[in-house]
Structure 1
């Protein structure tokens, strides 16, 4: 059974086939009902578990498509507030113990492997989360491991730091000019290019 809030949140999701969209909503419902559980536990049956893994492995479904419905719902909620906090931060998905996973890179610990995820989340000034407005996921290439000194000589657009600028630009491009956007980031975002862009 699909939760009603999931239907409302993801109603604008377009996966090219109504059956795929319905399956996506079912997966979200299963996982949200038991967020502490593994996929098999949350799915309940082997058939549901296999269908979930097949869905994730489908070449017809892209991560951006899965995010879009939620982002559209977030933008609808944003319209109700004059001031929006746009909170940027980076985290990582550690798949070191999942040796069969492909397409990952090294993390902050060179012995760890996974993906980096930079998200921009909207919230009200009272701290009410409104949802994700932008997200960028990438895998670090092995050729850059141990070359931090060389990286410091590159331009911002060639570095991972560019994600902060892209996040700010994307946020401002989708939120109406009539609303005030306050970008919040940690000290990793303290570099000249971003600070200069934020100046009035």
Structure 2
């Protein structure tokens, strides 16, 4: 029996997430479920003005990750998040294990989730992997962050989901008041 990807994602949400931890945002015909605290309209609009604000917000990263998944480039944010987690580590054996996992999952040319890195950065990573530190992937992380900012972020801002959440379409003005279209 084969199931669609959307159906499997829906089932996995039911199986692994506690519905009491979700907050649903409804604006017009659009809704989106955020984990934890619901962002304000001003915060959502701030994501549209600053990629840094988007990436610093847990809710913003979740929305952006969902967008990247729809574009088949989710590996970029997953790599970036894995690097952020690595930077928090101080235990050498854990640093080595996490570094190896990140390398195998995102840098290795054999990985199905390989991120796009230039040869210079790959050489730096290969040298760093001899003695991994929390900063083994810093140059690669910057390159992927820049790639997401330059390529994916503009498309995200033009997506219907973002525009609906930021109330930037369907007769809603930037001030949040409903406007009537001329008839």
Structure that is richer in helix per residue: 2
Output the TM-score relative to the length of structure 1. 0.26
Output the TM-score relative to the length of structure 2. 0.28
Structure that is richer in strand per residue: 1
